Amino acid sequence: MIQKPKGTYDLMPEETRKYRALENQLIKLLEIYGYGEIRTPIFEYSQVFHRESELSDMVLKETYNFKDKGNRDLTLRPEGTAGVIRSYVEQKLYADGGITKLYYLGPNFRYERPQKGRYRQFYQFGIEAIGAKSPSLDAEVIGLSYKIISSLGLKQVVVKINTLGDIESRLNYNKILRDYFIPHKEDLCENCQTRIDVNPMRILDCKIDGEKPVVKKAPKPMHHLTAEASKYFSDVLKYLDAMDVIYEIDDALVRGLDYYGHTVFEIEANIKGFGAQNILGGGGHYEKLVSEFGGPDVSGVGIAFGMERLMQAIEAENVEMPKDKPFDFYVLYFDEATKLAALTILSELRDLGYKGDIDHLDRKFATQLKSALKNNPNYLIIIGEEELNSNLYTLKNVKTEEQKTVDFDELVKKLGKKR
């Protein structure tokens, strides 16, 4: 028996229904905020992700890379933002000079150790607002993230926010971090020993060293801001307060990607029994990412949610997802002649928008009935020899067990509102 690859999973129809309901709810909210959907390729040229400025573990260690038949280097996307920005620049969405609001939903791929809430193929839902360096735009995206969580009925979650400052702040901060970690170099893992010289801020986000006292006590970016960066963050908080967004400032939060600057934030679940992998989503502000792809010098802000973790949080808090509507009808027949009539009425009712089905296995009536009731239809439509000769139908209400013979028009009337 061939099994699914490690770090992947199958979704059966019942689970898929829940994900579809979640996706529909998210999309409905995004339309209110003026976001449009973008769909980018699952794989991109490797330089979309493997850029000189991006030295995160995700890019250096976890991407799926391959060559195609033309010997071109390609990478399965490990996250959504880079592909969106590549498309934003390639399609010149910046031409009108305004803010472009986009959302995406699809699979991503990272080669990492599978565990609860973390897979090698996983689904992300994300939003990007591109075209302005604006504290109010940062606040709007954080507010939208907060609204997403509250609209799903999740209560035991918190929005955590921090600032990495502007470019000048980060250059100064990296020097301070480098000076701090050099005396502690031997206490760090091999990767972090290299990061001291290359990108010391990544040490704060290390999966191995992140919880060590020497890292916990390291200087925080918020305490080394320029006056301009400090005001920017204060304005973000001011706008969040105006929108009644509840948040916590976490001065240790840095996020795991190098393109972030200024505002960074995460949505953290504090649900009992949820486990250590409790970050539902995260994002932040970026300044040079668009220009790095050859576009104008404009900023953006975005967030991505892990769909698997969102669904786990919904289930952990016992939030009831919208259920699929039951079958409107199920058609039962007795022989080949009545089966032809059954298929005809089935097709006609489906064309009108009603949800229904039939048994295709030519089984006995009692077996058909048993199978029909498993689908929980509102009505049974029974076609026997008498119904066939009179061009009528026996319609039975499954709930009340009321049964009567009707013509087509009355049958449609009884079935009720079309879908």
CA distance 169 to 176: 11
In a shared domain, residues 349 and 235 = no
CATH number at 393 reads 3.40.50.800
Structure token pair of residue 241: 């307060």
In a shared domain, residues 82 and 231 = yes
Residue that is written with structure tokens 């919880």 in the block:
211
**pLDDT tens-digit readout, 178-207:** 999 999 888 888 888 888 888 888 888 887
In a shared domain, residues 140 and 280 = yes
CA distance 304 to 283: 6
Q: So what's the pLDDT on residue 232? A: 97
Structure token pair of residue 355: 């949800």
In a shared domain, residues 144 and 239 = yes
Structure token pair of residue 413: 């009337």
**pLDDT tens-digit readout, 56-69:** 778 888 999 999 99
3-class secondary structure for 257-284?
CCCEEEEEEEEEECCCCCCCCCEEEEEE
**pLDDT tens-digit readout, 156-185:** 889 999 999 998 998 898 899 899 999 988
Choose among 261, 263, 260, 264: nearest CA to 279: 264
Q: What are residue 402's phi and psi, to 5 degrees?
A: -70, 135
In a shared domain, residues 282 and 345 = no
In a shared domain, residues 393 and 249 = no
In a shared domain, residues 306 and 349 = no
**pLDDT tens-digit readout, 329-342:** 999 999 999 999 99
**pLDDT tens-digit readout, 246-290:** 999 999 888 767 788 899 999 998 887 776 678 899 999 999 999
Q: Let me know: does 108 contact 80? Beta carbons within 8 Å.
A: yes
Q: Let me know: does 109 contact 78? Beta carbons within 8 Å.
A: yes
In a shared domain, residues 256 and 404 = no
Q: What is the DSSP annotation of 352-371?
A: TT--EEE--S---HHHHHHH
Choose among 256, 255, 306: nearest CA to 280: 306
In a shared domain, residues 25 and 137 = yes
In a shared domain, residues 298 and 348 = no
Q: So what's the pLDDT on residue 109? A: 97
Is 357's pLDDT higher than 90? yes
> Which domain, by its residues, includes 337?
329-415
Q: Which of 283, 316, 349 is the last residue of a domain?
A: 316
In a shared domain, residues 231 and 339 = no
CATH number at 240 reads 3.30.930.10
2 occurs within a structural domain: no
Q: Which of 294, 316, 338 is the last residue of a domain?
A: 316
Q: Which of 291, 316, 341 is the last residue of a domain?
A: 316
**pLDDT tens-digit readout, 100-152:** 999 999 999 999 888 887 899 999 999 999 999 999 999 999 999 999 999 99
Beta bridge partners of 287: none
160 occurs within a structural domain: yes
- Cβ-count burial 59-89 (b if 16+ within 10 Å, e if not): beeebeeeeeeeeeebbbbbbbbbbbbbbbb
Is 12's pLDDT higher than 70? yes
In a shared domain, residues 255 and 335 = no
Over the chain, what is the mean pLDDT? 92
Q: Let me know: does 287 contact 133? Beta carbons within 8 Å.
A: yes
Q: What is the DSSP annotation of 52-63?
A: TT---HHHHHS-
Q: So what's the pLDDT on residue 129? A: 98
Q: What is the number of domains present in the chain?
A: 2
Q: Let me know: does 223 contact 251? Beta carbons within 8 Å.
A: yes
Choose among 173, 84, 174, 176: nearest CA to 130: 84
